[in-house]
Structure 1
Amino acid sequence: MIVDVIVATYNGEKYIKEQLTSILNQSYKDIQVLVRDDGSTDNTKKIILELQKTDSRLKFIEDELCPNGVGENFKRLFKKCTSEFVFIADQDDVWDVNKIEVLLTFAKKHFSEDLPCIAYAPGQVVDQNLKSSQNRLTNDSIKIRSLEDMILMNGGIQGCAMVVNRILYETALRNEFFWYMHDQVLSLYAVCFGKIFFYDKPLFKYRQHQSNVLGFNSNTFISRIKKYFSFNRNSFLVNQYSDELFKNFWLCEKSALSYGCKKIFTSYFSSVQNKSKFFFFVINYNVCIRKRISTSVIKMLLTKYIIEQKN
């Protein structure tokens, strides 16, 4: 079975060769690696084209579309996919040699053929030189179990950690709206229409460096609470991209949603303009941040806006 691996790049010349090499050297050999660049101004494209000459499984996707951010870049890659399973890769990580083999076996065991599914594994957090001093993992347990877990997350399952099935990516592509972050879109579709599974052993090195689009957030509970006490006059609970995603998703998919998901979305939309109403929404549906309702309540009390205000 051929498995697709998709890699969205942008100014990644420093690490892209090492990452692509780690993917091409996987113990599972039946792969097609699709790479698309989003307008790099460095040598990223040149490095990819040189590597493509050495391995026919690597395909560089070129088109006339304008650069439009990482989420849209991955969406365009998904439109090129044909495999039953698709792995997502960041441009700067390094995969363990058995990542595809292990996570694919896990996915085949747990996925339902008729449900959109995600399986993901944690990464070992390392510095730019792939060194780890504290043996930290990106996750130690499943991050999203229900729609309520996503309301205040401002994100989703880490894309570079996941494998998805065909029914998930085809379902997510059936409506044309803007993808700010691909992993958030995929997580929303999986949690509303399918299932998410967690493999509890690390399968890649998650590199942290100054150019990360979104880095690893290792803040402790106490440090996050201290941050909320800064009383930033523009502080918010839900960023504008998450709110826009919820609106677009609702407009496109409301007729297909379960009764429970419909109730959550209608309650969310009816309460976001009033902090008191939103407080009761959070309590009533047990909307947590990092599995803690207390964190949600404290952050809600200390932030000024529910939805991020546009400048």
Structure 2
Amino acid sequence: MATYNGEAYLKDQLESLLRQTFAHWKLTIHDDGSSDNTLAIIRDYQQRDNRIHLLDDGVSGLGSAKNYLHLMQHVDGEYYMFCDQDDIWLENKVARMVDAISRYSKPAAVYTNAYLYKDADITPQKSTTIHPSTVRNTLFFNSGIQGCAVIINHQLLEMLRPFPDHVAMHDHLITMGAVSLGTMTYLDEVHMLYRQHRLNVTGNQLNGYLRKAKSFLCDGKPVIDRAHYEANESFYQRYYDLLDESTKELFRAYFRYANSRSVSERLFILLKNRFVLGDKKGILLFKTVLRKPIN
């Protein structure tokens, strides 16, 4: 768990961990320099449960992504989950996800879904609606599967260490690692309440199809976000020797797309390489016609 000024919601999350039906876990927390009561809350729960540990090393000011990467350098276990300070885990989350990933002996990640949660109201809208599983349907994702929805095994983390020089977010790294070097599997179940509030690091999710459509058509965003493009470049360079030739060619096609000034050429690249966004067909072609390739 990476924390920063999380006193408003931290207790709810910690209590949800204590209610897990799977009991054999260890929670390692690193705080990023909180100025509120976050550390006091953590230390109180440390006294209550010896499975909770604070990595108190004096390092701060990392930001969310680097805070999680810092934690990933200081843990050792068979399986790893990422726990945001402001969500609520349903009681069977750890048990179900450990059961799902225990079937894999090679590098693997499994993710599940969440309901959006705001002002004590749970919406029926699921947090994850696009499901990447391969390099072909993940490269243009401009994101990763939410870290808080994922469990990975030791084999995947060891393959990713040491990390690339440039990382957009820890969940993007994990997602790209799983689809490029191992296996990414979706467990079609809901095991978390994903809290929405103005301080969400990765932003609030839009509710309703009309608002999503308006955002898609009018937000002025490019097809490829520069930060994720640079992260994919760094990923490609760091793990080049581990990638098979077909995967390398997909990365090269993605780079050509980003640097092409021709809409027809970009459409050709998409069609030739069968690029899509997760399990959604057609969206990427539509974006290519309407938007510039990269910011």
Q: Same fold (TM over 0.5)?
A: yes
Select which of 127, 133, 139 maps to 1:151: 139
Deviation (angstroms), 1:164: 0.5
Could you list the runs of 5+ residues in structure 1 that have no partner in the other structure? 1-6
Deviation (angstroms), 1:58: 0.6
Cα distance in structure 2, aligned partners of 1:51 and 1:245:
36
Select which of 79, 85, 88 maps to 1:85: 79
Which residues in structure 2 correspond to 1:9-48 (within 5 Å)? Answer: 9-48=3-42
Deviation (angstroms), 1:218: 4.3
Per the alignment, residue 241 of structure 1 pairs with 227
- Structure-2-length-normalised TM-score: 0.92
1:101 and 2:90 matched: no
Per the alignment, residue 298 of structure 1 pairs with 286
Relative to structure 1, is the Cα distance of residues 229 and 205 closer, same or farther in structure 2, using a 3 angstrom cutoff?
Answer: closer
Cα distance in structure 1, aligned partners of 2:40 and 2:236:
41
Per the alignment, residue 172 of structure 1 pairs with 160
1:125 and 2:116 matched: yes
Deviation (angstroms), 1:38: 1.3
Deviation (angstroms), 1:10: 1.4
Select which of 255, 272, 289 maps to 1:269: 255
Deviation readout 1:99-152 (Å, 9 max, x if unpaired): 11121112113x1x1x211111111222132x22x4222236x71121122222
Residue aligned with 2:116, SS = strand
Give the root-mean-square deviation of aligned CA atoms.
Answer: 2.0
Letter in 1 for 2:107: P
Aligned partners of 1:286 and 1:293 also within 8 Å: no
Larger deviation, residues 251-260 vs 277-286: 277-286
Larger deviation, residues 156-165 vs 17-26: 17-26
Letter in 1 for 2:125: R
Relative to structure 1, is the Cα distance of residues 287 and 275 closer, same or farther in structure 2, using a 3 angstrom cutoff?
Answer: farther
Relative to structure 1, is the Cα distance of residues 225 and 138 closer, same or farther in structure 2, using a 3 angstrom cutoff?
Answer: closer
- Structure-1-length-normalised TM-score: 0.87
1:51 and 2:37 matched: no
The size of the alignment, in residue pairs, is 293
- Matched residues, percent identical? 27
